[in-house]
Chain A
Amino acid sequence: MPKTDCADVFDADAIIEKYFDTVYRLALSQTRDTHKADDIVQDVFVRFMKTDKKFESEEHIKAWLIRVTINCCKSMYTSSWFKKTVPLSDELTFELPEEHDVYYAVAKLPQKYRTVIHLFYYEDLSVNQISKYLDTKESTVKSQLHRAREMLKNILGGGTEYGF
């Protein structure tokens, strides 16, 4: 399949509309700050609109968006003002208490564990896919998932009701 500019084949508006929340949710899980997540979303999609990248498929676009989101978040970590970031406050409301507990339990994890948990459980990516997205080894992803689950168990008080 010949590679073409995304603008030629893929409708940029439709892509933004479709993956807008995906990028935002990932950014929020990484930054734990709604305002910073807004900034990341804006940055990612402006890059998307400007890129000359040849996309092969919509799946390729999604992968690109996820990678760029993670990279933008990483860039944010290294900036001096990021140190002032406070953990996610209880400003988000959820329908069920379980959803609240689980979401905030994940928010308490170190950044690298939040990343793999979000990609694995929310984006339904396989370990192999996550390792490619994060450019790390599968064994590392497995290890991080294992450790993240252990941490979540502790945070959720055993986590038996969540299938841990």
Chain B
Amino acid sequence: MDFKEAYKNANNSIHADRALIDRIYIKAQQQKKTKVINYSIFGSLAAAAAVFVLVFNAINMGSGKINGGETYVAHGDLKARVATEEIKTAEKTEKNVPNDTADLTLKQEQNSKAAVESTDIKTETVQEDVRYDTFNTTSSAVGSLSGASDIAMAGIEYEESMEDAFSPYESYTANEYYDYIGSDVISVAKIPSDMKFEKFNGADITKDENGSIIADTGTFIAYDALKEKSITIEVTKIPQMTRGAALNDTDGLKTVQIVKDDLIYTITAFNVTDGEIDELVASLQQ
């Protein structure tokens, strides 16, 4: 039996607990209900507030207190401006509608408006929620759902829509990555020599070429922990040291700081047990 067959057979004999499926439906349903309840409460509050403002305005109109609203505006209160505008609108409406039906008409209009607002709020909240999910999944501030939808609408091909849906990279701080790699880290400080022309946060990262020694090659991913942005670096030469840069060794992590235009780029290199530098974590300080 070859490896593939043995590994496939082994996996095929593993089955998830079917009770999980029920829990998935329940959890999904619960989350859905929570949303609906939130919308209902928010929508009700918005509607109630709108009705209150309408009734208040209508009473004011009936009492001839429009001037009071204008006095507020003179004090520069934004809320008062809005109130005055509403009163003016009501005044116009009042001219066209008999007094005894004005309240009812205004209430109907406002309720209708509140319903639309409630719908808008619901839509926005759903979008935010999905964005949050996307961020949870991706841990990366790359695009938003609306962006993804736009791309999907534009008919961009499969791969690009995948890009938007999935996390390009997880963003780790040096300590998190160290925790993740754990005892695998043995590490020697190695900085890619060809970073000289790499753009990072819109700035060139410079590196002194003196002392460069060819040590390893490969592809490295650098993470900007602050902006959760990443760059891919093709490494052809790795120097031992970078002149003028401080080389630190903390808890098995080797870091080098490169100063450029008053910005400090901190690059941390990891070297796993099999000798391959796995990933770089870069951060930016001002």
Contact = CB atoms under 8 A, between A and B. Distances in A.
B27 A163 contact: no
Given A38-B20, A95-B9, A75 B28 contact: no
A52 B21 contact: no
A93 B15 CA distance: 11
A120 B222 CA distance: 26
Nearest to B159: A132
Contact of B3 (A46, A94, A121): A121
Tell which of A20, A111, A139, A152 has the most Cβ of chain B within 10 Å.
A20
Interface in A30-54: 37-38, 41-42, 45-47, 49-54
A164 B3 contact: yes
B30 to A, nearest CB: 9
A70 B65 CA distance: 64
B13 interface: yes
B240 interface: no
A22 to B, nearest CB: 9
Contacts of B168: 135
A102 B137 contact: no
A28 B14 contact: yes
Contact of B276 (A24, A78, A147, A159): A147
Given A20-B21, A24-B14, A52-B130, A96 B6 contact: yes
Contacts of A28: 14
Interface in B163-219: 163, 165-170, 172, 176, 179-182, 184, 218-219
A125 interface: no
A164 B10 CA distance: 18
B219 A140 contact: yes
Tell which of B6, B158, B165, B166 has the most Cβ of chain A within 10 Å.
B6
Nearest to A106: B7
B11 A25 contact: yes
Interface residues of chain A: helix, strand, loop or mixed (majority): helix
Contact of B28 (A3, A46, A112, A164): A46
B162 interface: yes
A21 to B, nearest CB: 6
A6 B28 CA distance: 16
Contact of B31 (A50, A112, A137, A147): A50
A38 B24 contact: no
Contact of A71 (B21, B170, B184): B170
How many B residues are at the interface, by size bracket?
A: 35 or more
Nearest to A110: B184
B218 A143 contact: yes
Contact of A102 (B7, B138, B181): B7
A103 B7 contact: yes
A83 to B, nearest CB: 6
B79 to A, nearest CB: 36
A132 B137 CA distance: 16
B24 A67 contact: no
Interface string B120-134: 000000100010010
B24 A78 contact: no
B25 to A, nearest CB: 8
A24 B24 contact: no
B10 A103 contact: yes
A72 B161 CA distance: 19
Given A42-B24, A143-B276, A159-B3, A132 B179 contact: no
A122 B9 CA distance: 9
5 contacts: A38-B17, A64-B165, A122-B8, A132-B162, A137-B219
Shortest beta-carbon contacts, A-B, top 7: A24-B16, A99-B10, A163-B2, A162-B3, A103-B10, A67-B166, A102-B6
Given A60-B158, A147-B274, 7 more contacts: A21-B14, A24-B16, A50-B130, A71-B167, A110-B184, A117-B7, A162-B2
Interface of A: 3, 16-17, 20-21, 23-25, 28-29, 37-38, 41-42, 45-47, 49-54, 56, 60, 63-64, 67-68, 71-72, 74-75, 77-78, 80, 83, 92-96, 98-103, 106, 110-112, 117-118, 121-122, 132, 135-137, 139-140, 143, 147, 150-152, 159, 161-164
